[in-house]
Amino acid sequence: MTEQLRLMAVHAHPDDESSKGAATMAKYVSEGVDVHVVTCTGGERGSILNPKLQGDKYVEKNIREVRRKEMDEAREILGVKQDWLGFVDSGLPEGDPLPPLPEGCFALEDVDHAAGALVKQIRSFRPQVITTYDENGGYPHPDHIMTHKITMVAFDGAADAEKYPEDEFGPVYQPKKLYYNQGFNRPRTEALHNALLERGVESPYGDWLKRWDEFARVERTLTTHIPCADFFGIRDKALIAHATQIDPDGGWFRVPMDIQQEVWPTEEYELAKSLVDTSLPEDDLFAGIRHNA
């Protein structure tokens, strides 16, 4: 009897699962892998980014419920399981100086305590592989950074019965690999930008590249490239399901699908922890695990 392959993706808000690694998840679902999304907050403080819904009083008043329904739809499209950790969205502080974070929000939780909620999910689902954000959060949203922190603690804590007792958190379990989502990387952005210009198509990435130059962003190590071009359509459909967050006529969808699939047919990850032998670069999140499963 072979062991079921299981992948857990830990995200900060509803919609993050559809904008970061969604095609990878859909690919693995199609191969029979059990995929579980854990969403840390309800996205209650997220702005309504779709111009078509801005000013909608029902949506504004019921944003938490609306975003839960959007998550339900995206989950069905991707074919994944999904659970909420139940923390409250911290919002994205803006201004100079930055305002304090709101009391009771996710980013102000005690890290070890908040990680306990994720430990329960890990011990219950027992994933061999976990994906999340790097220490910068992918971008510096306080909830993304907090998601990184609790995932790092929970990866090790799931196997620590002293720190997280089994009678409260479930039987101990040790995941084998931990990855950071790195889909928004410079090589991909430059490749798509240049391909569009070569074809005489306007690129949405010019400003992105300028900002990267201005802020001297340090590029991450891309260790793992997952071929998943056949699932880009599912990714986009799941993303559009988050209607409050995504304008279907906006920049996310300005690159024709055939160009995306031809020029950059993968999603990228950075291997952060591995308790199994593997060789880099990889084309499979389960490299070093699959032969034992």
Strand-pair partners of 129:
7, 177
Q: How many whole angstroms separate alpha carbon 197 and alpha carbon 235?
A: 24
The per-residue pLDDT for 208 is: 85
Contact 81, 9 (CB under 8 A): no
What is the fold, at CATH topology level, of the domain defined by 6-184+221-292?
Answer: Rossmann fold (3.40.50)
pTM, entire model: 0.95
Q: How many whole angstroms separate alpha carbon 5 and alpha carbon 127?
A: 7
pLDDT digits (tens, 9 = 90+) for 48-75: 999 999 999 999 999 999 999 999 999 9
**In sequence order, which ranges of the chain are alpha helices (DSSP H)?**
16-19, 22-30, 57-61, 63-78, 111-125, 142-157, 166-169, 186-198, 206-215, 232-241, 257-263
Three-class secondary structure of residue 259 per DSSP: helix
Indicate the pairing of strand 129-132 with strand 81-87: unpaired
Phi, psi at residue 271, to the nearest 5°? -70, 115
Give residue 255's identity as a one-letter amino acid code.
V
Q: How many whole angstroms separate alpha carbon 280 and alpha carbon 103?
A: 43
Q: Is 141 among the annotated ligand-binding positions?
A: no
Q: Is 13 among the annotated ligand-binding positions?
A: yes
Q: How many whole angstroms separate alpha carbon 152 and alpha carbon 273?
A: 9
The per-residue pLDDT for 218 is: 79
The per-residue pLDDT for 114 is: 98
DSSP string, 168-231: HH-S----SEEEEE--S-HHHHHHHHHHHHHTT---TTHHHHHHHHHHTPPPPP--EEEE-GGG
Q: In which residue are the tokens 């992105």 written?
A: 208
Contact 231, 30 (CB under 8 A): yes
The per-residue pLDDT for 164 is: 98
Q: How many whole angstroms separate alpha carbon 87 and alpha carbon 106?
A: 5
Q: Is the dihedral of CA 244, 248, 249, 250 positive or negative?
A: positive
Q: Is 34 among the annotated ligand-binding positions?
A: no
Query: Residue 158: how many CB atoms within 10 A of its CB?
Result: 28
Give residue 82's identity as a one-letter amino acid code.
Q
Given a cut of 70, the residues of the chain with pLDDT beneath it are 1-2, 292-293
Stated as kind and residue range, the H or E segment containing 272 is strand 266-274
Closest of 90, 98, 100, 97 to residue 137, by C-alpha: 90
Q: Where are the domains of the chain?
A: 6-184+221-292, 186-219
Stated as kind and residue range, the H or E segment containing 248 is none
Give residue 114's identity as a one-letter amino acid code.
A
